[in-house]
Structure 1
Amino acid sequence: MSEEISMNDMMNQIDSSMKKIHKGDVIKGRVISVSENEIVVNIGYITDGIIPKAEFEVKEEENLEDLVKAEDEIEVYVLKVNDGEGSVLLSQKKAKEIASWRELGKIFKTKEKIKVTVKDVVKGGVITFINGIRAFIPASHLSINYVKDLNEFKGKTLEVQMIEFNKSKGKVVLSRKVIEQKEEEIRKENLWESLEEGKKVKGVVRRLEKFGAFVDIGGVDGLVHNSQLSWGRVKHPSEVVSIGDEVEVFVLDFDKESGRISLALKDVKEDPWNNIEGKYKTGDVVEGVVVKLMDFGAFVELQKGIEGLVHISQICDENIAKPSDKLNKKDKVKVKILDVNGKEKRISLSIKEAMQKPKVDVSKFDDSKEDDMKLGDLFGDKLKDLF
């Protein structure tokens, strides 16, 4: 009787020392042996566990013996407590999948950035895998810019963030766009902090409008008004720049709150009005081109960036209703400089005075001696040229 009790006690002790396992458990074990088709694992249970090759993450051309060795510790999933032959049926694949989903859940909660490689292109996006779990990147989340051809991403490694996670539906959605947006925000903030009036910066022409060109100076667009594209007169920005041009511009003014930045392509140091009084003097007769006709007069370009006004009264000796009665745009004309004001950037011109011939002053001759006045007294040596 005592032997029977002691035997029962011993069996109870053995039983209590063994793990209690159930279907669906994920447990750790130690590899006992590896063969071509299965792995035997000690899981601390009354019987050993068996992992068939089909339940191990292995490629068809690979051998189990090359991947697992005796004494290796391995995590497994319990498929069946009794496989019908007294062994516990295990799956390394399933255990790894559960661990992967658990890891993905953590990544989703912490919004951690991860790197993935695009494996395939499908309708509406691309496919990748994270630790064996299939994930989808919609086309709209591949970039902050429009993506014309999804195939250009195939095989590329991208840094992404998980934007949707649903384990029960096996759904994982990733985005590269959200990362680029955050990076763009940082770049913009750094740009605004670095802006200074008069600072020279590099940029790319992104858009042309009739009033000016928009230039991207690092994630933020600034406007170069037509008047700031060149020292000469500009009707349309396409006369000076094209979309895609890399340019260097000067910061004129900026307002972070309104997101407005005013730029200049022309260099303020090269202002042709600098020292203008030294280039053009009152009384000089120079040649220019009519560039604009107004009701009150005509603007004549003397050189690039320098224009003067010919008032309607200074166009000709006749009384005309409007400048276009005598002038056309692009006419080349000679003008006399009446006044130069470099401070206010104004030059007054006259066409009629530039055309006038010198007059002979006859006031010095006394009318009482008119009868005695000879041609030689009036014209002097000029008559000699006729003989």
Structure 2
Amino acid sequence: MSEMSFEQMLDASLKSIHAGEIVTGKVISVKADEIALNIGYKSDGIMTRSDYSSDNTLDLTTVVNVGDEIECKVKKVNDGEGQVVLSHREAIASKASEELKKAFEENTVLTGKVVQVVKGGLNVEVDGARVFIPASLVSDTFERDLTKYQGQDVQFVITEFNPQKRRIIGDRKQLMAATKKEQHDKLFSELNVGDVRTGVVKNLTDFGAFIDLGGADGLLHISEMSWGRIENPKKLFKPGQEVTVLVKEVSGERIALTRKFPDENPWKDAETKFAVGTVVSGKVARMTDFGAFVELEKGIDALLHVSQISREHVNKPSDVLEAGMQIEAKIVDLDVENHKISLSMKALLPDADKKEDGDVADVDIEAVGMAEAAKVDDAE
């Protein structure tokens, strides 16, 4: 056997590489846009800025030092000039792809950053690998505008893994549905009538507000928003507003809420404060054809019937009264149980059968008659 030449012995001492292989190289020189590495091969490896980072303005000398070790993927064994073309980004992506495959097989929850919002969904990056989440799988409710997710971290599971066809599909919807079910079950296992809860206004209608209690929504009817009268829920609440509510009733999946807290009940002392015969003052809150409702204090309205406004005939309350007017009246009826008070302005007027002294003539009728008879006799 002939002796090996020095070049042959050197080749034998160096490892062989192939395209697609993951290798670790030691940095031997760094320029702003290029890195040279020793990968234990007969030729050194070259890595450009774009193969190191997605930032095209990055100065490599600010992040890489001579002697650093970098994991790389072999793109080309020979670039035409005898150098090996390397990519750190592809190495990370290959490693991440293996992690995604494992996550797909084990149904592991992943977290990634949304790097691009497209018409059909979200492109999410996980350790250098791309996952696509279709718009239909972004949320458990329809979302027209996905731009709010740009730059946000989102959690998801991999439901399809086919890197050959560049199809790695993520699903966020099923995670949200599972979380909501867990919250739902926990809420109903703990919820009791009389509980005080903090929720968030989810939706407003003319008849009330739906409050998210964290697992289920409860209805806060307009009649339960306050001890006082509420004309429009949208003037009192806004979507996203945090509110404290009292659980009034739980019937199956339905939750009825109230903000009429017992300790704030303005009617608790009504029997004393508004006893029949008491003269009160209040503000005309609103009017109907049959009467006016007068606010005696916050949460307590009394009815002044049209027949009790004046001794004179009143066709309709607005002929005499107007909203916001302060009036004085007597309480003529009190029903604490049904929260009803009846008023009368007429009851404060002087009795019609009694005349004031100045209105009654002080005359001796018998004397006047005798005087008139004497005048007749003289004439004869």
Shorter-chain TM band: 0.5 to 0.7
Distance in 2 (alpha carbons) for counterparts of 1:159 and 1:38: 47
- For each residue in 1:208-248, what CA deviation from the matched residue of structure 2 results, as whole angstroms up to 9, or x when unmatched? 22222222221422222222112111111233223332111
Distance in 2 (alpha carbons) for counterparts of 1:38 and 1:271: 92
Distance 1:127 1:300, change over 3 A: closer
Q: Is the 8 A contact 1:292 1:300 kept in 2?
A: yes
Distance in 1 (alpha carbons) for counterparts of 2:13 and 2:140: 49
Does the alignment pair 1:56 with 2:22? yes
Q: State the TM-score, normalizing by the size of structure 2.
A: 0.64
1:214-293 equivalence runs, <5 A: 214-257=210-253, 260-293=254-287
Distance in 2 (alpha carbons) for counterparts of 1:38 and 1:54: 22
1:309-324 equivalence runs, <5 A: 309-324=303-318
Number of corresponding residues: 291
**Counterpart residue type for residue 39 of structure 2:** L
Name the residue aligned to 2:324.
330
Deviation at 1:172, TM superposition (A): 1.3
Distance in 1 (alpha carbons) for counterparts of 2:19 and 2:101: 28
Distance 1:54 1:37, change over 3 A: farther
Q: Is the 8 A contact 1:197 1:251 kept in 2?
A: yes
Structure 2's unaligned 5+ residue stretches are 1-9, 26-34, 41-67, 71-89, 357-361, 366-380
| SS, match of residue 51 in structure 1 | coil
Does the alignment pair 1:173 with 2:169? yes
Distance in 1 (alpha carbons) for counterparts of 2:97 and 2:151: 29
| SS, match of residue 248 in structure 2 | strand
Name the residue aligned to 2:348.
354
Distance 1:37 1:163, change over 3 A: farther
Structure 1's unaligned 5+ residue stretches are 1-34, 41-49, 69-93, 363-368, 373-387
Between the two proteins, what is the percent identity of the paired residues?
34
Name the residue aligned to 1:148.
147
**Counterpart residue type for residue 179 of structure 1:** L
**Counterpart residue type for residue 108 of structure 2:** K
Deviation at 1:55, TM superposition (A): 2.5
Name the residue aligned to 1:72.
none
1:114-129 equivalence runs, <5 A: 114-118=109-113, 120-121=115-116, 123=118, 124-129=121-126
Worse-matched range after superposition: 160-169 or 50-59: 50-59
Distance 1:133 1:226, change over 3 A: closer
Q: Is the 8 A contact 2:96 2:126 kept in 1?
A: no
Distance 1:255 1:142, change over 3 A: same
Deviation at 1:361, TM superposition (A): 8.8
Q: Is the 8 A contact 1:253 1:261 kept in 2?
A: yes
Deviation at 1:205, TM superposition (A): 1.8
Distance 1:345 1:133, change over 3 A: closer
Distance 1:322 1:165, change over 3 A: same
Deviation at 1:261, TM superposition (A): 2.0
- For each residue in 1:100-121, what CA deviation from the matched residue of structure 2 results, as whole angstroms up to 9, or x when unmatched? 87875664354x1232433742
Distance in 1 (alpha carbons) for counterparts of 2:320 and 2:11: 103
**Counterpart residue type for residue 125 of structure 2:** T
Q: For the aligned residues, what is the CA RMSD?
A: 3.9
**Counterpart residue type for residue 311 of structure 1:** H
Q: State the TM-score, normalizing by the size of structure 1.
A: 0.63
Does the alignment pair 1:160 with 2:156? yes
Distance 1:271 1:358, change over 3 A: farther
